[in-house]
Structure 1
Amino acid sequence: MSSRLARTSALTVAAVCGSALLVMTAVSASGNTAEEPRLHDIQGKTRISPFAGKQVTDVPGVVTAVRGFGKARGFWLQDPKPDDDPATSEGIFVFTGEKTPDVEAGDSIRISGEVAEFYPGGEEAGGQSVTQLTGAEWKAASKKKAKLPKAVGLGADRVPDAYAPEGKGDEGNIESLKLQPRKFALDLYESLEGMRAGLRNAPVTGPSTEFGELWVTADPGENPTPRGGTLYGAYDQHNGARMKVSSLLPREENHFPKADVGDELRGATTGPLDYDNFGGYTVRATAMGELKDNKLKRERTRKQSKDELSVATYNVENLSPESEPAKFERLSEALVKNLASPDIVALEEVQDDSGPQDDGTVAAGKTLKTLTDAIEKAGGPAYESRQIDPEDNADGGQPGGNIRVAFLYNPDRVDFTDRKGGDATTPVKVGDDGGKPKLSANPGRIEPQEEAWKESRKPLAGEFTFKGRQVFVVANHFSSKGGDQPMEGRFQPPVRESEKQRTAQAKLVNSFAKKVEAIDKDAAVIAAGDFNDFPFSPSLDAIREGGVLTSPMDELPADERYGYVFNGNSQVLDHAVTSPGVGPVKYDIVHINAEFHDQASDHDPSVVRMKP
């Protein structure tokens, strides 16, 4: 940031994008002299306006769209007479706060106000700023409605393959760099900030959300998945053709399309190009393409054979007795029909019996019984459950919810030998029982007092027997990515600070598996769950270090390795890794949630099968 901007004061305002609350920080300063630039002069050739903190007067433009709801009301203004510099935007957002502006699309006006840079989510969040006019006053420049400037088409031929320039200095800030819209996708979008832009016949790569938004791509050929998504397969595989879409159209009931991955917005989807802290650049649609439902189907995995042990992992997303009954029904039906009633299930995000109420409750017996009863009602086995109650508010997640990992298992297929001693703070030990590994507590937590697990879920180790074969299963839910700099932010490449904790957690799970295998080199160990990280991440490298555990996911075709969709990218967060003693396995990610607008969870479950 320049020294001039560093001396400016900060003003915090609240804004609403769609129905999602944004917190924005305005960086501004008092200017003494009013100037009369055009909008492209105000936007300038970098991400920060050369007029930031200054008053401007009599700036001409045509109103292209109005946001008349929430606490971030205002309108977009565009100069109908652009310059010939592709780096300078011709549009801008005029912020009016909680006051609905008395303008309409097509109004020609002249406007005066102060130029400011607003950081959605706060400047410390690492996102980019939005150049805005604040404290504005305007007057009509013409009584006739003007024709709106033509929307800039975003297509595969226009969006660069390269994502972002490398930033300057120790922080890697790209704000002071001259925009290169023909070279970098983020620069292209910044050069169009506030201008009318859009896509035609846009494939959906991220399903509609409860906040009235979805993700599309300008380039269907960019790392496609077989089911219509866009694969995030490496840190440098950003997929810059992705674009978020929200609506400025009247909020009639069921107006926003309920789209799944693989659907399409036929025709033109256009509106001013904005930026927010929930995914970056966004088309605020004033015209929405018609939804073409391509009827994506939920998958079903095959049933395990009599001599196969099936182990599944499923993040059930803050499940508690306070959850809607329909959620229990959908989860149980998925476990029975889509997952073919696995023998063992590692569950993540099981909340305590009072759910998000922060009342000191830590037990989850009611949560698990409600689920197992629903499974039996759906035609599944009479699962039994095992888990360890955490200390109150010590494991992160939704405040008061006390999420934890837990096991379900089918006692008709699997034996579980309970041993006393397992509690929230006592680490499980691996003993030598005549050449066979034996857990000191079953189930037991792995090193729960280690710093790596601070405010995070502790892994649960369980010792099972299947057809006489001893099998150790570890249920995991590693720490979240909270605090990482955003992919689309102003620091490039972004710093992924949260990786450090997950890598430390992975090393502890690797160490546990190593202790088991040191006693029996042919021991069967399966570590499964929500690792909150990618197959190519340092944490997955750490858990596989030394070949103690390996990823059967690697046997899947590369474009099928995903089970979570974030900001239009299909990616991997959930894993099942196995020891060499497990032998050949069959691995399946069962796509039933992440690609669909109606989800029982935001994660897809996966299943690994082995033979004793």
Structure 2
Amino acid sequence: MHAKSRVRAIIVAAGVLVGSIAALPSPSVAAAAPGTVVISQVYGGGGNSGATFSNDYVELFNRSGAPVSLDGWSVQYTSATGTGNFAANKADLAGTLAPGQYHLVQLAAGSTPSGALPQPDSVGSINMSGTAGKVALVRSAEGLACNGSSAPCSDAQLAQLADLVGYGGANFFEGSAAPALTNATGGLRKSGGCADTDDNGADFETAAPAPRNGATTPAPCGADPSPTPTPTPTPTPTPTESCDTPSTHPISQVQGSGETSPVAGQNVRVEGIVTGSFQGSGGLGGFYLQAARPDADPATSEGLFVFSSSPVKAGDRVLVSGKVIEYNGLTEISPATAVNVCGTGAIRPAKVDLPLRKDGVTFERYEGMLVTFDDDLAVSETYNLARYGEITLAEDERLWQPTDRKGVDTEKDARRKILLDDGSAAQNPPTLPYHTKGSNTVRIGDEVRDLTGVLTYGFDVYRVQPTQPVVFRAENPRPAQPAKVGGDVRVASLNTLNWFTTLGSRGATTAAERDRQLAKLVANITTLNPAVAGLMEVERNDDVALNALVDALNAKAGAGTYKAITHPNPGTDLIQTALIYQPAKVTPVGPARSSSDPIFNRPPLVQAFAKAGRPGKTFTVLVNHFKSKGCTDADGPATGDDADQGDGQSCYNAKRVKQAKAVLALIDSLRLTNALVVGDINAYGEEDPIHTFEDAGLASLSKKYVKKEDRYSYVFDGLSGELDHVLADKGARKLVTGATIWHVNADEGRFMDYNTEYNPPYLYAPDAFRSSDHDPLLVGLRL
């Protein structure tokens, strides 16, 4: 539950009246009384080209002067004019909104990673349109079997609508539709969310998306907008509880033997020892306690989270009163109505061995308990380390993509991983909460032993909030140089992570970021020192970006050290493949060539080379960047054979196979010899596109020359694998003296890159590390 707002309030009012949508005067127009909780922002461009954020989102806001519970509510969506119902796209809500408080609902991510949202308060999978759609805030978790137009909503369904926003060309809205949106703009309710004239067109304006969450400072409206005042009953005095007031339930009974508490919704009083306090500014808003003596049932947890600001410390024996709730899957007491410190005690951590056994044992039995992992746990992902203080750990070794290599046991992998959190709700801290001994960061593959903390649950994953210092060992130290590959000509392949000279597009957003990115790319390439380098993700802008990179390389390596090859058919994408070479080492043979096959929107670049001064023996480099695995592009969602087939190869696998066949046809039609197919194939080592190449006689050089544990170039969702390849035909293989993958990028956190957003300034250095998100490959040839 890291960074989730834990602000709660006890509703003491007899009831909170929420403005409801009235009967429709026409199929497309709804009239409503001003709402208490309203939709304050909509954004559907997440992860699209030029998007500000990676995810779509809906923001909610409490306009009223009283807290409102969202338990049992939902956000629902349907297309602007289609026939689909709201029920098909639903995200459930929970929690309570204080007056003036926001609630951020993170929705689906697009295929182009961009900015991360603030920590969401709810998470759903709705995929909204970036331009036009209909969003409903529903006072029910049941999906509405209507869309307001082709399937008009009944009076009963309309009565469930707390708010409705139709934007763009939507045919169902309040008053008139809100303006159309873009990938770079969201719809924002005016006056910080307070405006509600029952007219979407009047209440909403377009602006840069600016999502707010429950941790944002509340901004109450000037007056309670409820149509009628809410009476406040006279509170009933409650007896003062003390250490003499006995418990009513053991913690194990509150937890129960299943995923939810058998006494949820009931008031209880429990006794236990505090195992970890995470209170105060930036904390989790409470503490964990655990029974001093466990019961006889191993299926029941002995620990519990208590949402309370009453000061306690580890080792306190406390009695706690309050209501039992399930908060996003975590059993807890919230809020605590009484916390009595009645002595001290000690809890011995339970030992947890990974992987968990196959007999149905899950982390649920340890939820809220103090545990120690008596294993070497390897870092498998650091994506959110600087953002939210999270690291994915796995027993014994990192996690692998199952389609990258044989023998990956996905079921076992699910039982051998755990998320390390930092016990904090702070976002973007000025320094990393963890680092490896002797370093100021943590690399994937580094290890920790005897991890001790409270095992808890939040955001759909079990996690550990540490109660003892966490020390990582450098089991995967930074390689200052790539491994030696021999030969007299070196060929490299590297993805530049959107090297753009145009600001605010796919690459840097400021001149400072562009300079930082360029410095890292130059450090990467000059250290590789290739005679030929195939590049991906270079801006397609008449070689302006490509030449800027060459100029920077020559400024460091010496005038004339590198030259660029002009692509004869750079394609239609914003990015292109590219080639640079050292004229003192190799000489281009013949013109640069490409493919006109429409299967490519980033066509390959083909160039033959000979060793400088020795024009006899040649080799040919084909630089490629195949279709990505994302399931949506400019043409819409993947369909048919290109849709995700559920085989682990994601979307557009069929297209990547066709692209591989087109490259093979190009080799044949151009009668290429000593061919090296290099680039970001967007396919892992045992996927169909790679098999297509191998079946045709090309061989993966990394499979031959790189040890299995080192054969990876990319990390996605905590899984390592090789998306980038160098494949050689029979003739080229006779020239190869070695190959390696230089792990300067994939093992480094994104917080080490050139971006200034969210990245602690002290971590940036103009070196090769995290110059991209893909590792470069290097091959030695003897000509």
The answer as to 2:268 corresponding to 1:57 is yes
Residue 588 of structure 2 aligns with an amino acid whose one-letter code is D
After TM superposition, give the deviation of residue 384 of structure 1 in Å.
Answer: 0.9
Q: TM-score, normalization: structure 1? A: 0.66
Mapped partners of 1:324, 1:543: distance in 2: 36
What is the aligned partner in structure 1 of residue 504 from structure 2? none
The answer as to 2:452 corresponding to 1:260 is no
* Equivalent residues in 2 for 1:94-109, closer than 5 Å: 94=306, 103-107=312-316, 108-109=318-319
After TM superposition, give the deviation of residue 535 of structure 1 in Å.
Answer: 1.3
What is the aligned partner in structure 2 of residue 320 from structure 1? 500
The answer as to 2:521 corresponding to 1:331 is yes
| Maintained 8 Å contact 1:522/1:580 | no
The answer as to 2:136 corresponding to 1:136 is no
Mapped partners of 1:69, 1:530: distance in 2: 45
| Maintained 8 Å contact 2:354/2:373 | no
After TM superposition, give the deviation of residue 95 of structure 1 in Å.
Answer: 5.8
Task: Evaluate the alpha carbon distance shift between residue 522 and residue 460 of structure 1 in structure 2; reply closer, same or farther with a 3 A threshold.
Answer: closer
* Equivalent residues in 2 for 1:36-115, closer than 5 Å: 38-46=250-258, 48-49=259-260, 51=262, 54-63=265-274, 64-66=276-278, 68=280, 73-94=285-306, 103-107=312-316, 108-115=318-325
Task: Evaluate the alpha carbon distance shift between residue 509 and residue 410 of structure 1 in structure 2; reply closer, same or farther with a 3 A threshold.
Answer: farther
Residue 269 of structure 2 aligns with an amino acid whose one-letter code is D
Measured against aligned partners, the alpha-carbon deviations of 1:310-340 in whole angstroms (never above 9, x if no partner) come to 4322122233343353432232222222x2x
Compare CA radii of gyration and give the structure with the larger one. 2
Task: Evaluate the alpha carbon distance shift between residue 189 and residue 316 of structure 1 in structure 2; reply closer, same or farther with a 3 A threshold.
Answer: farther
Select which of 349, 364, 370 maps to 1:151: 349
What is the aligned partner in structure 1 of residue 550 from structure 2? 372
What is the aligned partner in structure 2 of residue 126 from structure 1? none
Measured against aligned partners, the alpha-carbon deviations of 1:479-535 in whole angstroms (never above 9, x if no partner) come to 13679xxxxxxxxxx985772534223312222133234447763443322334421
Task: Evaluate the alpha carbon distance shift between residue 74 and residue 151 of structure 1 in structure 2; reply closer, same or farther with a 3 A threshold.
Answer: same
Mapped partners of 2:547, 2:457: distance in 1: 44
Task: Evaluate the alpha carbon distance shift between residue 374 and residue 142 of structure 1 in structure 2; reply closer, same or farther with a 3 A threshold.
Answer: same
Residue 547 of structure 2 aligns with an amino acid whose one-letter code is K
Select which of 398, 401, 415 maps to 2:588: 415
The answer as to 2:418 corresponding to 1:243 is yes
Residue 536 of structure 2 aligns with an amino acid whose one-letter code is E
Aligned-pair identity in percent equals 22
Select which of 466, 480, 498 maps to 1:298: 480
Select which of 506, 509, 513 maps to 2:656: 506
Measured against aligned partners, the alpha-carbon deviations of 1:346-403 in whole angstroms (never above 9, x if no partner) come to 32333x4xxxxxxxxx627443333222322332732315456665xxx5xxxxxx44
Measured against aligned partners, the alpha-carbon deviations of 1:1-53 in whole angstroms (never above 9, x if no partner) come to xxxxxx9862155599x997245359999xxxxx965443444444x315486
Measured against aligned partners, the alpha-carbon deviations of 1:526-585 in whole angstroms (never above 9, x if no partner) come to 3322334421234433443x3253322221332232233456654322222233343333
Mapped partners of 2:322, 2:330: distance in 1: 15
What is the aligned partner in structure 1 of residue 357 from structure 2? 182
| Maintained 8 Å contact 2:319/2:342 | no
Task: Evaluate the alpha carbon distance shift between residue 531 and residue 417 of structure 1 in structure 2; reply closer, same or farther with a 3 A threshold.
Answer: same
After TM superposition, give the deviation of residue 606 of structure 1 in Å.
Answer: 0.8
After TM superposition, give the deviation of residue 253 of structure 1 in Å.
Answer: 4.5
What is the aligned partner in structure 1 of residue 775 from structure 2? 604
| Maintained 8 Å contact 1:446/1:508 | no
After TM superposition, give the deviation of residue 290 of structure 1 in Å.
Answer: 3.6
* Equivalent residues in 2 for 1:189-204, closer than 5 Å: 189-199=363-373, 202=376, 204=378
Mapped partners of 2:310, 2:580: distance in 1: 56
Task: Evaluate the alpha carbon distance shift between residue 389 and residue 582 of structure 1 in structure 2; reply closer, same or farther with a 3 A threshold.
Answer: closer
Mapped partners of 1:136, 1:518: distance in 2: 71
Measured against aligned partners, the alpha-carbon deviations of 1:274-298 in whole angstroms (never above 9, x if no partner) come to 34559x4432223223454565433
SS of residue paired to 1:600: coil
What is the aligned partner in structure 2 of residue 210 from structure 1? 386
Unaligned runs of 5+ in 1: 1-6, 30-34, 119-129, 161-180, 225-230, 353-361, 396-401, 420-441, 450-456, 484-493
Residue 82 of structure 1 aligns with an amino acid whose one-letter code is P
What is the aligned partner in structure 1 of residue 680 from structure 2? 530
Task: Evaluate the alpha carbon distance shift between residue 472 and residue 290 of structure 1 in structure 2; reply closer, same or farther with a 3 A threshold.
Answer: closer
* Equivalent residues in 2 for 1:480-499, closer than 5 Å: 480=629, 496=646, 499=649
What is the aligned partner in structure 1 of residue 624 from structure 2? 475
After TM superposition, give the deviation of residue 302 of structure 1 in Å.
Answer: 3.3
Mapped partners of 2:594, 2:474: distance in 1: 46
| Maintained 8 Å contact 2:486/2:781 | no
| Maintained 8 Å contact 2:606/2:623 | yes
Task: Evaluate the alpha carbon distance shift between residue 503 and residue 95 of structure 1 in structure 2; reply closer, same or farther with a 3 A threshold.
Answer: farther
Measured against aligned partners, the alpha-carbon deviations of 1:86-131 in whole angstroms (never above 9, x if no partner) come to 33333344568xxx6755444523243353252xxxxxxxxxxx32
| Maintained 8 Å contact 2:456/2:464 | yes
Mapped partners of 1:282, 1:410: distance in 2: 50
SS of residue paired to 1:247: coil
Task: Evaluate the alpha carbon distance shift between residue 134 and residue 324 of structure 1 in structure 2; reply closer, same or farther with a 3 A threshold.
Answer: farther
What is the aligned partner in structure 2 of residue 591 from structure 1? 743
Q: CA RMSD in A?
A: 4.4
| Maintained 8 Å contact 2:421/2:466 | yes
Measured against aligned partners, the alpha-carbon deviations of 1:187-237 in whole angstroms (never above 9, x if no partner) come to 4433323322234684543475433343444436x899xxxxxx9764425
* Relative contact order higher in (CA < 8 Å, ≥ 6 apart): 1
What is the aligned partner in structure 1 of residue 456 from structure 2? 274
Residue 458 of structure 1 aligns with an amino acid whose one-letter code is R
Measured against aligned partners, the alpha-carbon deviations of 1:158-204 in whole angstroms (never above 9, x if no partner) come to 223xxxxxxxxxxxxxxxxxxxx5326x9443332332223468454
What is the aligned partner in structure 2 of residue 342 from structure 1? 530
SS of residue paired to 2:496: strand
Task: Evaluate the alpha carbon distance shift between residue 104 and residue 334 of structure 1 in structure 2; reply closer, same or farther with a 3 A threshold.
Answer: same
Task: Evaluate the alpha carbon distance shift between residue 365 and residue 146 of structure 1 in structure 2; reply closer, same or farther with a 3 A threshold.
Answer: farther
Q: TM-score, normalization: structure 2? A: 0.53
| Maintained 8 Å contact 1:65/1:271 | no
Residue 600 of structure 1 aligns with an amino acid whose one-letter code is S
Unaligned runs of 5+ in 2: 1-71, 75-91, 95-102, 107-115, 125-138, 142-246, 436-440, 502-507, 633-643, 753-769
Mapped partners of 1:246, 1:324: distance in 2: 32
After the TM superposition, which of the residue ranges 61-70 and 365-374 deviates more from structure 2?
A: 61-70
Residue 284 of structure 1 aligns with an amino acid whose one-letter code is Q
After TM superposition, give the deviation of residue 71 of structure 1 in Å.
Answer: 9.7
